[in-house]
Amino acid sequence: MEKDSFCPVPSPGDGGAAEKLSGACVLITGGTGSFGGAFLRRCLALPVGEVRVFSRDERKQYSLARRYEGEGRLRLILGDVRDAGAVDRAMAGVDYVFHAAAMKQIPACEAYPLEAVKTNVLGSAHVLESALRRRVKKVVCLSTDKACYPTSAMGATKSLMEKEALRAGERGGETVVNVTRFGNLVASRGSVVPLFREQLERRGEITVTDPEMTRFLMTVEEAVELVLRALILGGPGELFVAKAKAAAVGELARAVMACLGVSGTIRVTGARAGEKRHETLLLAEEAAAAQDCGGFFRVAVPAIPASEPGKPYRSCDGARFTLRELTELIRAALARPAEWDE
């Protein structure tokens, strides 16, 4: 793995994003999710010309309209990435696209794998094709560690999305396409932290599939930073992978108890279909070609052939959160205002 000590790492105070987005029209697909809400706030703090939020959730769009009442730069567009026409209409006049729309829940994707294909693969193709046709300046696609050595329908469809995006990046012409990949966002909607809290409050018990399973954890703000780094630094067809600490699921359950100041039992239920015991953020083949940029890896695609693999970046091998660090991380995440009025 090549060490690049000169790779710049923009901080929240850097002007690179402001310079890129000044007066620009930005499209966020899936913009009513946890990442979308945080990224929207960040965009509106910059001198953007317009931010379009494209999603199929009318309830959350209504909440957004109330929250940002009077914000003239915000445009809400109800639509689904499965609808190529709706995507293309939303794309008209756009400078930068941040593609976050996806089916992300493993059980739902396992139960309805073709639905995951329709959103994560075909829907992503609609976004990429429209962006290239309309000569958008850059597309940044969001992916997940589940896409590495996938065992689930969700991971497999996100892996295909990555391949679509990176191949589009190679032929993009005027449009630069990048992919960002990261682990679990702490306390995001649908993640285990809100679930554990609800279980404790309802019955004083947390259920875990396997207490020794490990997962990468990061904040939504760290995810936003990675996407902005891709925006500023990314060349055609490059992949940006966040570094992250990991935690065992059993330790995460104990941290939630400590954070809430309650005691409870932990019941082991066994792994669900499609789940892996440990996750990978960087493939061995990618690691061989990756630049270590401090807080993230930067990979030019195609990577070095598999005959000379590097060391994969796995949740069971790297740095772990201590119980105290986990508790502080969860407490800070839960203290933030909810993204949406429920």
Domain ranges within the chain, ordered by starting residue? 2-183+220-243+280-311
Q: Which CATH number applies to 2-183+220-243+280-311: 3.20.20.10, 3.40.50.720, 3.10.100.10, 3.40.50.970?
A: 3.40.50.720
**pLDDT for residue 303:** 55
| Bridge partners (DSSP) listed for residue 298 | 240, 291
**What does the pLDDT average to over 82-105?**
97
Would the pLDDT of 306 be above 60? no
pLDDT at 2 over 50: no
pLDDT, position 334:
77
Check residue 339 and give its pLDDT: 55
Cis omega (within 30 of 0) for bond into 302 = yes
Asked if 29 contacts 99 with a C-beta cutoff of 8 angstroms, the reply is yes
The Cα 335–Cα 163 span in angstroms is: 37
pLDDT in tens, 38-86: 999 999 999 999 999 999 999 999 999 999 999 999 999 999 999 999 9
pLDDT band at 338 (very low <50, low <70, confident <90, very high): low
- Give the containing element (helix H, strand E) for 29: strand 25-29
- Closest-CA residue to 294 (of 233, 219, 231, 216): 233
Q: SS3 for 64?
A: helix
Active site residues: 146
Contact criterion met (CB below 8 Å) for 123 and 163: no
9: confidence class by pLDDT, cuts 50, 70, 90:
very low
